[in-house]
Amino acid sequence: MTTLLDPPQQRSAASAAVTGATAMGFVGGSVAISAVLAGAPLLTAQSLRYAVACLLLLGLARLTGRSVTRPRGTEWAWLLGIVGTGMVLFNVALVRGSEHAEPAVLGVAVASVPVALAVVGPLMTGRRPEPRVLLAAAVVTAGAGLVQGLGRSDAVGLGWAVVVLGCEAGFTLLAVPVLTRHGAWGVSVHTTWLAAVVLGVLGLAVEGPGALGRLDGRALAAVGYLAVGMTAVAFVLWYSAVGRLGTARAGLLTGVAPVAAAGVGVAMGGAVPGPLVWLGIAVVAAGLVLGFTARVR
């Protein structure tokens, strides 16, 4: 049976949408910050980022009286899946893909996440995809593509773009089985410390024990921002939105990220967006309205 949301549910959905959009705003705003780490030892820098984020999350959890439950059984596999795809392989795919494709190609791959989540998310819970939400996802993806623009790539670059898409979707989908018991805070804490360990071991093996000393002041400042904004804050906000909205509708909010990236670029002295970017922003907004005014089961 399909019904309209009643007023309390509408307010809750609106609150969750703002939460998820804020998380994606941090993600989009981090694009320019991440560029500072282009010449830094990537694995070591990312390990430090997640370690700082984990300590911050644990401190905030203690201050706010939130408990973090120890994973058990197959939950370890789901959490390691999030780390392996959305936090390790994702970063590798971005770096390797950029060697064969222009940034816009990888950006469009990330922008395609709403469609993937609108299809796979409901199937994971035994439901059929909602046609209107699926249409909204396609609209958001088209708008995000206009904001990102198109670029050139060879076959290897396209392959890495597909990997980027899968990893970005996996970051959300693989969290679904553990969100119920651990909540947004628990999933965020466990994925960050696991990522810090995995990336730390990889960094030690690939970049050497002296890699940490090669991070200059600008790189450390970038790591600090990524640890606080893009990780500690954005992870909790995003997983909170996913838990309240479901993967399909929350996935629509990923279209906010390229819009935020464009806005931050202008704020940092970049060129004012052209007509196609403004059109893309309008299309993203239309897709969000379409998706969040849909009837729900």
Instruction: Give the model's pLDDT for residue 78.
Output: 96
pLDDT above 50: residue 3: no
* Terminal alpha carbon distance of the chain: 6
Instruction: Give the model's pLDDT for residue 57.
Output: 95
Instruction: Give the model's pLDDT for residue 181.
Output: 92
pLDDT band of residue 10 (cuts 50, 70, 90) is low
Instruction: Give the model's pLDDT for residue 184.
Output: 93
Instruction: Give the model's pLDDT for residue 161.
Output: 84
pLDDT above 70: residue 31: no
pLDDT above 80: residue 84: yes
**CB 134 within 8 Å of CB 188:** no
210: tokens are 């002296």
Sequence letter at residue 170: G
Query: Pick the residue with more confidence: 208 or 36?
Result: 208
pLDDT digits (tens, 9 = 90+) for 177-186: 999 999 999 9
Instruction: Give the model's pLDDT for residue 4.
Output: 43
Lowest mean pLDDT among 19-33, 108-122, 181-195: 19-33
Instruction: Give the model's pLDDT for residue 27.
Output: 79
- Please identify which residue in the block is written with the tokens 């990312």: 46
pLDDT band of residue 51 (cuts 50, 70, 90) is very high
Instruction: Give the model's pLDDT for residue 296.
Output: 54
pLDDT above 60: residue 5: no
pLDDT above 50: residue 2: no
Query: Pick the residue with more confidence: 270 or 76?
Result: 76
Q: What is the largest CA-CA distance in the chain?
A: 60
pLDDT band of residue 1 (cuts 50, 70, 90) is very low
Residue 101: φ, ψ to 5°: -140, 150
How high is the mean pLDDT of the chain?
Answer: 84
pLDDT digits (tens, 9 = 90+) for 197-234: 999 999 999 999 899 889 888 889 989 988 998 899 99
Mean pLDDT across the stretch 232-256? 90
Q: What is the DSSP string of 187-223?
A: HHHHHHHHHHHHHHHHHHHHT-TTSGGG--HHHHHHH
Angstrom distance (rounded) from CA 22 to CA 40: 28
pLDDT band of residue 75 (cuts 50, 70, 90) is very high
pLDDT band of residue 32 (cuts 50, 70, 90) is low
Q: What is the dihedral of CA 190, 193, 197, 203, to 10 degrees?
A: 120
- Please identify which residue in the block is written with the tokens 């509708």: 249
